[in-house]
Amino acid sequence: MDKKTTSKNKRKIDMQWVTHSIVVMVADVLVVLFSFFAALWLRFDMHFDNIPGDYFATYLRIIPIWCLITLVVFFAFKLYHSIWTYVSIDEAFTMVKAYAVLVLCYVLSKFILKIDMPRSFYFFGVFIAFFLHMFVRFSYRLLRYITNRYVKINEYKSGEVENVMIVGGGSAGSVLIRDLNNDSHQNQRPVCIIDDNPTKIGRELYGVPIVGTRDDIVAKAAEFNIGSIVLAIPAASPKDRKAILDICKETGAKVRILPGVYQLASGEVSVSRLKDVELTDLLGRDPIEIDNNEVFKMLKGKTILVTGGGGSIGSELCRQIAEHQPKQLIIFDIYENNAYDIQQELVRKYQGGLDLVTLIGSVRNTHRIGSVMKKYKPDIVFHAAAHKHVPLMEDSPNEAIKNNVMGTYKTAQAAAEAGVKTFVLISTDKAVNPTNLMGASKRICEMIIQMMNRRTPNTNFVAVRFGNVLGSNGSVIPLFKKQIADGGPVTVTHKDIIRYFMTIPEAVSLVLQASQYARGGEIFVLDMGDPVRIDDMARNLIKLSGFTPDVDIKVEYTGLRPGEKLYEEKLMDEEGMQTTENKLIFIGKPIEMDDEWFEKKIAVLDIDSQEDDENIKKYVQEIVPTYKPGSMS
């Protein structure tokens, strides 16, 4: 939108505000005129002829002054600045304060102008005027409410309105009920409330009955023909939220949720703020937290480079690093669109308060990554650049080797030559006893890190290994949601396949915490909680979207893809397990190997990958004996 159009729209909005304010001001003047005349009329037995002439003359003399005083006081208290649609109890309190000042002004004017009127004139006049002024301000909202109710009743009779169940009869629930009732654009009507407080059952909230506890959700959903359920308990613990959502998904209704308690505190509770239920809401555990003070000490004042900084993990690393006051943050990525997106996000957020450098380049380019390291001399490098899609890498194994293995080797060498203090490789649980080329390539990356750590005592080389992250690029959740939106089918590779899951911010926060423990050579393993069955995830998402699996939306089993496991492992048998101060981070001990033999194999692998050798998987298997291509374990 150009400046001319913006300016025109602003003038239009300003004129609307002026028009509305003038209407209210005229109404306020009429209220003062009427109220004090009515007070005189009431005082003299409701007969105009009984009003003494001198009293009426005094009324005519003082009423213009009192109208002016009223307008000035109301303007001072910003009673002409409110939006009629949202007039609330706050305006009522403001009106009370304004009237306290008005009464004082009326009393002062009585003595200054030597007004002699009956005492009932002042009492009844102020009393009537106060309630009429309140009515003027609430009349628009009242009229709008009545109109909306009439519209919704007609829509309900015609079957156009969806019945809504509100779970939670507290503050958030009450705000949502008001919002649903007052908004004529919402084709939804709250018809019942669920609350676990037994003392509330049988009572009403804004005319909506509280009909039972969470145990009654399924029965009441059927009884009230519920089409949509809203979970309005922002302060609920993750465990309680999961328990309630597990019940809700059996109703066949679409489920939405109020994201967090902060929205209640900030007054942002509304229908527009509701979101569809995510699988993160069903994890049933508290969010993983880290020792921010320790991470802050590690990152503050440091120059930090993130390779693959535009990816799902890399961009979140950049976000969290930026919050800890680094001296300089360098985003390095070959994909310019991804790099641009995170760059602009951080620029908007920090408004020049962050020294941010965004560079385009490939970790496969020895000269490029070397020159970047030498020029910026980062203290810490987070190496997140990698090809990670298992099926794609099975079909393009040479690219996986060139990007993952050689990219890591070249980046690690450049870091060592530039005197980097800490180098952190982002690895995966697929590197453990790999059955696919992507996992095997990451296992070689871990071996590179441990070799480089032995050869470069001035740099701590470590790896952090974790499983799937919810919502990352290529993860199953976005795919399932898209398939549901398209009407199905939802595809699952195998009914029994399970995976460990964590949110992107959780995984990244643990990566930062783990890097704080780095002493060199460690492979840090993140505790991902209990594994989740992918089939259950798909079916739960279908149910929470208001559909029935295999009825409304079909679930199809496509078979394990090449190199895909039924389950992932966290550690190889020989790595063992060592605990850290953070009970969610463990350390796998380095595995002994011949560094000279390994380096020669890397050199051969580099040549083979460049030549697009079809036997690349066999060469990888020589380096990673635990790699079993095509295993379906």
Q: Does residue 310 carry a pLDDT above 90?
A: yes
Is residue 48 located within the same domain as residue 180? Answer: no
Which of 149, 181, 198 marks a domain boundary?
149
Q: Does residue 102 carry a pLDDT above 60?
A: yes
Q: 476 in a domain, yes or no?
A: no
Is residue 387 located within the same domain as residue 417? Answer: yes
Q: Does residue 230 carry a pLDDT above 80?
A: yes
CA 508, 513, 515 angle in degrees (round to 5)? 95
Q: How many CA atoms lie within 13 A of 313 on its CB side?
A: 29
Which backbone phi and psi does 456 adopt, to 5 degrees? -125, 85
Q: State the pLDDT at residue 142.
A: 67
User: 632: pLDDT confidence band, cut at 50, 70 and 90?
Assistant: very low
Is pTM beyond 0.85 here?
A: no
CA 180, 185, 189 angle in degrees (round to 5)? 35
Burial class, 442, CB count within 10 angstroms (exposed 0-12 / middle 13-18 / buried 19+): buried
Q: 539 in a domain, yes or no?
A: no
Antiparallel, parallel or unpaired: β 585-588 and 523-526: antiparallel
The total of structural domains in the chain comes to: 3
Is residue 32 located within the same domain as residue 142? Answer: yes
Tens of pLDDT, residue by residue over 130-172, are: 888 888 777 766 666 665 555 555 545 445 678 999 998 887 8
Which of 99, 120, 149 marks a domain boundary?
149
Q: Report the candidate in 547, 557, 605 with the shortest Cα–Cα distance to residue 228.
A: 547
Q: 540 in a domain, yes or no?
A: no
User: 213: pLDDT confidence band, cut at 50, 70 and 90?
Assistant: very high
Average pLDDT over residues 235-262: 78
Q: Does residue 401 carry a pLDDT above 80?
A: yes
Is residue 234 located within the same domain as residue 138? Answer: no
Average pLDDT over residues 96-115: 84
Q: Cα separation of 472 and 313, whole Å?
A: 7
User: 264: pLDDT confidence band, cut at 50, 70 and 90?
Assistant: very low
Is residue 167 located within the same domain as residue 250? Answer: yes
277: which DSSP letter?
P
Q: 250 in a domain, yes or no?
A: yes
Q: 179 in a domain, yes or no?
A: yes
Q: Which of 270-284, 317-331, 555-569 has the highest mean pLDDT?
A: 317-331
Is residue 173 located within the same domain as residue 75? Answer: no
Cβ(489)–Cβ(483) under 8 Å? yes
User: 118: pLDDT confidence band, cut at 50, 70 and 90?
Assistant: confident
Q: State the pLDDT at residue 480.
A: 84
Which of 149, 184, 209 marks a domain boundary?
149
CATH code, domain carrying 239: 3.40.50.720
Q: 36 in a domain, yes or no?
A: yes
Is residue 308 located within the same domain as residue 416? Answer: yes
For residue 571, CA distances in Å to 113, 442, 528, 564 come to: 92, 14, 13, 17
* C-alpha dihedral sign at 465, 470, 471, 473: positive
Is residue 322 located within the same domain as residue 263? Answer: no
Average pLDDT over residues 219-234: 89
Burial class, 565, CB count within 10 angstroms (exposed 0-12 / middle 13-18 / buried 19+): buried
Q: What is the largest CA-CA distance in the chain?
A: 117
Is residue 124 located within the same domain as residue 42? Answer: yes
**Domain residues for 604?**
298-469+503-527+576-623
Q: Cα separation of 397 and 610, whole Å?
A: 11
Q: Does residue 539 carry a pLDDT above 80?
A: yes
Bigger pLDDT: 10 vs 590: 590
Q: State the pLDDT at residue 82.
A: 59
For residue 491, CA distances in Å to 250, 292, 555 come to: 21, 40, 6
Q: State the pLDDT at residue 115.
A: 81
Q: State the pLDDT at residue 571.
A: 46
Tens of pLDDT, residue by residue over 439-498, are: 999 999 999 999 999 999 899 999 998 777 766 655 677 788 888 888 889 998 888 887
Is residue 357 located within the same domain as residue 465? Answer: yes
Is residue 205 located within the same domain as residue 303? Answer: no
Q: 291 in a domain, yes or no?
A: no
Q: Cα separation of 615 and 545, whole Å?
A: 46
Q: 556 in a domain, yes or no?
A: no
Is residue 268 located within the same domain as residue 393? Answer: no
Cβ(36)–Cβ(106) under 8 Å? no
For residue 446, CA distances in Å to 169, 333, 506, 513, 591 come to: 52, 21, 22, 19, 10
